[in-house]
Amino acid sequence: MEKRNGLRVILFPLPLQGCINPMLQLANILHSRGFSITVIHTRFNAPRSSSHPLFTFLQIPDGLSETQINDDPTSNVMSLLAQINRNAESPFRDCLQNLLLQSQESERISCLIDDCGWLFTQSVAESLNLPRIVLCTFKATFLNAYPILPLLRTQGYLPDSDSKAGDSVLEFPPLQKRDLSRVFGENGEKLDPFVHAIVDTTMRSSGIIFMSCEELEKDSLALANEIFKVPIFAIGPFHSYFSASSSSLFTQDETCIPWLDKQEDKSVIYVSLGSVVNITESEFLEIACGLSNSKQPFLWVVRPGLVLGAQWIEPLSEGLVRSLEEKGKIVKWAPQQEVLAHRAIGGFLTHNGWNSTLESICEGVPMICLPGGWDQMLNSRFVSDVWRVGIHLEGRIERKEIEKAVRILMVESEGERIRERMKVLKEEVGRSVKHGGSSFRSIETLANHILSL
């Protein structure tokens, strides 16, 4: 452990699993470079401070009711985040102001680092003369499209016929027109003020940190610098330095590891749709039947609340549950990084959140892409069409399509070719975090930037 450098960094994660994990991994990276760490967080989805004894944690009220705190938040994430953005500004300002007043000459507060999804933090930081650095938890390619997203939605880019659905979106490659409706979801024009605010506050920041690397999107990182006109730091994949397991908001079922130990090498398909995606009961049944019919061993994460209108797996008949248990294992949550690194895992059926996509690449596990929406659509296109390390289901949640994709990936020659390409990509990304690699160098640049603020 390097000695302290006399500077403290304040971190403020967005209260979602996929945002908390990267922020705490970043905290570990900065702490290893000598910075002291304070994490401000909301009451909703509060991180487990006991897992990070070297950091200081401060909770602020978020204005949510007990019902909202305890209910499954995944049914309307955008509405929940909008409400927290409205409620948390004043408590956050008070907390940050007190920290600045209490800071000592021996340990100066250097900057604030928070998620780009916070809409008020730039103004608060400016009013307190504190530099703010933005953490972007998705691809630089996606953030670069924020200035044009409202245009894509309003200027007739959504396909008006199935024949045009596969057309490329020239302003937003490699997306296809069919992807745009899933990017915007049901929110439509409600997203426009949110997107505009993120562009504005990011342009006024002191820099952007991406959990990516030049090996994955060199051109996009250079373009981000041109668009936002602030320093860019691509220091990912974060989990290559520090695991996210200790920051999980869900209780992990560790029994899946001994179960994997009993399986043959690269024989198991791992299935997880992340911490936010929801599916219908009929889609759930199609996935179940597809996995059962594939005859391949599988480890399936069914998060409580994943299936709309159900608590857990009760939509499955007793007969189907017995059939599934013959070849696979169903758990409520899994230590994903440990699972993907296991010798028995041969494929990953994923929603293609950026965290999951990076973790799969770093372990050399090819993917079956079943994106839910937002940036997942872009990630899945890169996986299937650019890097060619996975199979895109194109939104077809049908048992025959699931079975076909699993068998192609796990037992057919095309799956082996995909696996070879993934091996090359894994090696390229792996070099970025080693001494002298692009991400390694960018961490040093970031540390020096914070020291200069």
pLDDT tens digit sequence for 262-306: 999 999 999 999 988 899 999 999 999 999 999 999 999 999 989
- Residue spans of the domains in the chain: they are 7-241+433-452, 248-430
For the stretch 297-310, pLDDT in tens is: 999 999 998 999 99
196 by Cβ neighbours in 10 Å (0-12 / 13-18 / 19+) ranks as middle
Domain range 7-241+433-452, its CATH number among 3.30.70.240, 3.40.1180.10, 3.90.180.10, 3.40.50.2000 = 3.40.50.2000
Domain range 248-430, its CATH number among 1.10.10.10, 3.30.300.130, 3.40.50.2000, 3.40.50.620 = 3.40.50.2000
Higher pLDDT, 86 or 166: 86
Q: State the pLDDT confidence band at 224, using cuts at 50, 70 and 90.
A: very high
pLDDT for position 68: 63
pLDDT for position 370: 97
pLDDT for position 184: 83
Backbone angles phi, psi at 122, to 5 degrees: -65, -45
Looking at the chain, the whole-number percentage of residues with pLDDT higher than 90 is 75
5 by Cβ neighbours in 10 Å (0-12 / 13-18 / 19+) ranks as middle
* Confidence check: pLDDT of 73 > 60: no
d(CA 115, CA 46) in angstroms, rounded, equals 15
Residues present in the chain in total:
453
Average pLDDT over residues 437-448: 96
pLDDT for position 75: 54
Please check whether residue 10 is in contact with residue 99, taking contact to mean a CB–CB distance below 8 angstroms.
yes
pLDDT for position 244: 57
For the stretch 349-359, pLDDT in tens is: 999 999 999 99
- Which secondary-structure segment (H or E) carries 152? helix 149-154
Whether the domain at 7-241+433-452 and the domain at 248-430 fall into the same CATH topology: yes
231 by Cβ neighbours in 10 Å (0-12 / 13-18 / 19+) ranks as middle
For the stretch 379-417, pLDDT in tens is: 999 999 999 999 999 989 999 999 999 999 999 999 999
Higher pLDDT, 78 or 252: 252
* Confidence check: pLDDT of 128 > 70: yes
Under DSSP, the state recorded for 344 is T
Average pLDDT over residues 138-143: 96
Q: Is the pTM of this model over 0.85?
A: yes
pLDDT for position 71: 62
For the stretch 156-167, pLDDT in tens is: 676 556 667 788
Average pLDDT over residues 199-223: 97
* Confidence check: pLDDT of 1 > 60: no
pLDDT for position 243: 67
> Look-up: residue for tokens 């008949």?
317
For residue 46, give the nearest of 17, 4, 11 by alpha carbon: 17
d(CA 357, CA 380) in angstroms, rounded, equals 8
For the stretch 245-262, pLDDT in tens is: 556 778 899 999 999 999
